[in-house]
Amino acid sequence: MWLELIIGAALALLCGLDRIAILQILISRPIVAAPLTGIFLGEPLIGLQIGVMVELLWLARLPVGAAVPPDDTQVAIAATVLSVALGRQLESISIEMMLVCLLVALPVGKVGQYFDHRARNYNGHLPAQTERALEQGLWRQAQVIHLRGILSFGASSLLTYLIIIAVGLLLIPPAWPLLTRVFSHSASFLQLALPLVGVAVILGTVNVSRSITLFCASFGMAFLLMWLVHP
Amino acid sequence: MKLGWQTRLHVWLRLLFLQASWNYQRMQGLGFLFALLPGLRKLYPEEKIREASKRHAGYFNTHPYLAPLVAGAVLKLEEERATHGEDRSIDIDDFKEIVAAPYAAIGDALFWGGLRPLAAAITLFFAIKGIIWAPLIFLLLYNLVPFWFRIVFFEYGYRHGIQSVDFIQEHNLADWAIHTKEAAVVVLGGLCAFLVFSHLAEHHLPTWPGLLTLIPMVILGLGARKGLSTLLLIFLTCLTIVIFGIFWADLAGFLNY
C-alpha cells in the first residue's frame, strides 16, 4: 500500500507542475496522467479506464487568465492509486472499485482549486523580493526567487493528492460491502455516462454557433453507419 | 550587437518555466524577466541591466505558447536599442502591453478551447479500444502544433521584431480557433456515438435506442449552459443511473421469480 501511495505522490508532483508552473506539454491531462500512474503501479488498463472517464469532465473549464479550473490531474492520479491499492487490499480490482474511488475523488478534488489559489497568492510576495534583488544587482538571486514559485505549486499538487487519498482510505473500505452491491447493477452504465456528461458540458459551454446541431448530426450519422455495418 | 543562437536557445528554454512564479500581482511578469535575462546580460553593460530588468519584471500575461513570439520580438527591440543607443523603452513596454491580451485570447481559444478537446476526442477512440499507447498518441497529436508555435514563432519574432504581429493578422489565427472547435464538436459526436453503440452491442442489448442518448445529453448541455456545475450534473446522472439500476435488478428478479 505505501509503495503505491509514494509512487502516486511522485507522479502527482510531476504532473501537477505541468498544469501551470513548467513545460505545459499536457502530461497533466487525465488521459495521460492516469494511465502513466497505472503503468507505474502495474495496472495500466485501470489507469486507462479512469483516464477515459475523467478526461472530458472538466475539459470545458479553460485555464484562462486568473481562472483556476478543478484539479482533474490529481483526481485522475488519486483515483487510479486508490483503485489499485484498495483493489489489491480488498481483493477486488473491478469496475465497481474504480467508480467508487472516482466518485469519492471527484468532489474532494475541488480542494485543488483552493490550494491552487493559495499557491498563487503565496507567490504574490515574490515580485517585491525580486525587485530588492534587482536593486542590489543580484541577478542570480532574482532568478532563484522566480524558480521558488515552483515549490508552492508543487505543494498545492501534493496536498490535493494527499487529501483525496486520505478521504478515500477513510471512506471506501468500511463502505465497500454496501457499495459493491449498489454499484453492481449499474457500473457499466456509469462508466459510459461519465464521458457523456463531460461532452454534454463541453457542448453547453463551447463558444461555437450551432454546436448542438453539429454534434447531433455527427452523432446521428456515426451511429446509423455503425448500425448499418454491424452484423 | 547581435544575439547568438546559443543565447536565443537559452532564452527559449527558459520560456518553458515562464509560469513558475505565476501570481495575481504580476502574473507571468517575473517569468518573462527570467527568460529574457540571458539576452539582456549579453546586450547591456552591468549598470544598464538593472534598468532593463526592472522594466520587464512588471505585469505581463499572455498565452504560454505565444509568449515566445512576444519574447523573440522584445529581444529584437532590446537589441536595436542596445545597438543604436536610442531610447525605445516606451515602445518596448507598449508593444508588450498591446500584444499580450490579444495573443492570450487567440491562444486560449485555439489551444485550450479547440486543439485540446480535438486531440482528447481522437485519443479517446484509441483508449476505449484498450490501446495502452493512447496517452502517447495524445501527447504527439497535441504537442505538434504548440511546439511548432513555440519554436518557429520565437525565431519569427526575433527576426521581425515589432512587425511580427502581421503574421498573426495575415494567418487569421482567430478563425483557425473557431474551425478547430467545430472539428472538435464533430469528432466528439462521433466518439459519443461509438461509445454508446459499442456499449449496447457489448451487452447484447438492442442498439437503435442508443440514438435516444442525444436527449439527455442535450438536456445536460443546456443545464451546463444555464450555469449548473459539472459536479452537480455528474452526481445527478450517477444517482439516476444507480436508482434505475437497482429498480431494474429488482424488476428482473421479480419477473424471473
Q: How far apart are CA B145 and CA B115, in angstroms?
A: 9
Whether A179 shows a pLDDT value over 90: the answer reads no
- ipTM (interface pTM): 0.93
Residues contacting residue A146 through CB under 8 Å, at least 6 positions apart: A126, A130, B17, B20, B21, B30, B31, B33, B34
From the CA of A112, how many Å to the nearest CA of chain B?
Answer: 14
pLDDT at A91: 87
- The residue that leads in pLDDT, B22 or B169, is B22
Q: Could you tell me the pTM of the whole model?
A: 0.94
Percent of chain A predicted with pLDDT > 90? 78
CB-CB under 8 Å, B199 with A130: no
Q: Do A146 and B184 count as a contact with CB atoms less than 8 A apart?
A: no
Measured CA to CA in angstroms, residue A220 lies from A200, B63, B197, B198 at distances of 15, 36, 11, 14
Instruction: Tell me the CA distances in angstroms from A90 to A96, B29, B147, one per residue in order.
Output: 12, 50, 44
pLDDT tens-digit series, residues B209-233: 999 999 999 999 999 999 999 999 9
Q: Is the pLDDT of residue B101 over 70?
A: yes
For residue B26, give the chain A residue with the closest CA.
Answer: A127
Packing angle, helices A72-89 and A139-184, rounded to 10: 50
- Is the model's pLDDT at A231 over the cut of 90? no
Give the residue extent of every domain in chain A: 2-229
Which of B30, B62, B66 has the highest number of chain A CBs within 10 A, making it the mutation to test binding with A?
B30
Residue A123 to residue B113, Cβ atoms within 8 A: no
**Which is more confidently placed, A111 or B83?**
A111
Looking at per-residue pLDDT, the higher value among B256 and B119 belongs to B119
**Are A32 and B178 inside 8 Å of each other by CB?**
no
Write out the three cell numbers for A20. Answer: 501551470
CA B103, A17, A130: angle at the middle one, nearest 5?
Answer: 70
pLDDT cut 70: percent of chain B above it: 96
The gap from C-alpha A24 to its chain's centroid, in whole angstroms, comes to 15
Residue B251 has pLDDT above 80, yes or no: no
Residues A204, B221: contact at Cβ < 8 Å? yes
Q: How far apart are CA A32 and CA A128, in angstroms?
A: 37
H/E stretch holding B197: helix B173-202
What are residue B18's phi and psi, to 5 degrees? -55, -40
Is the model's pLDDT at B257 over the cut of 70? no
Q: Which three cell numbers stand for residue B23?
A: 501570481
CA distances from B161 to A41, A156, A158, B31 (A): 49, 38, 41, 20
Instruction: Compute the average pLDDT of residues A134-148.
Output: 92
Query: Of A27-41, A154-168, B194-208, which range is least confident?
Result: B194-208
- Rounded to the nearest 10 degrees, the angle between the axes of helix B116-128 and helix B173-202 is 20
Segment among A84-88, B6-10, B82-86 with least mean pLDDT: B82-86
Question: With contacts defined as CB-CB under 8 Å, which chain B residues touch A112?
Answer: none
Distance from CA of A90 to the nearest CA of B (A): 22
Is-contact A116 A156, C-beta < 8 A? yes
| N-term to C-term CA, chain B | 90
Choice among A122-126, B48-52, B196-200 with the minimum mean pLDDT:
B48-52
Q: Are A74 and A109 in contact (CB under 8 A)?
A: yes
What single DSSP character describes residue B110? I
* pLDDT for the residue B86: 64
Nearest to A119 by CA among A72, A71, A165: A71
Query: Residue B161: how many CA atoms within 13 Å on its side-chain side?
Result: 10
Q: What is the pLDDT of residues B51-95, one digit of tens each?
A: 889 889 999 999 999 999 999 999 999 998 888 776 555 578 888
Judged by CB atoms within 8 Å, which residues 158-187 of A form the interface with B? Answer: 182-183, 185-186
- Per-domain residue ranges for chain B? 5-226
Residue B220's closest CA among A193, A111, A118? A193
Tell me, yes or no, if A56 comes closer than 8 A to chain B by beta carbon.
yes
Written as nine digits, the cell of B168 is 498573426
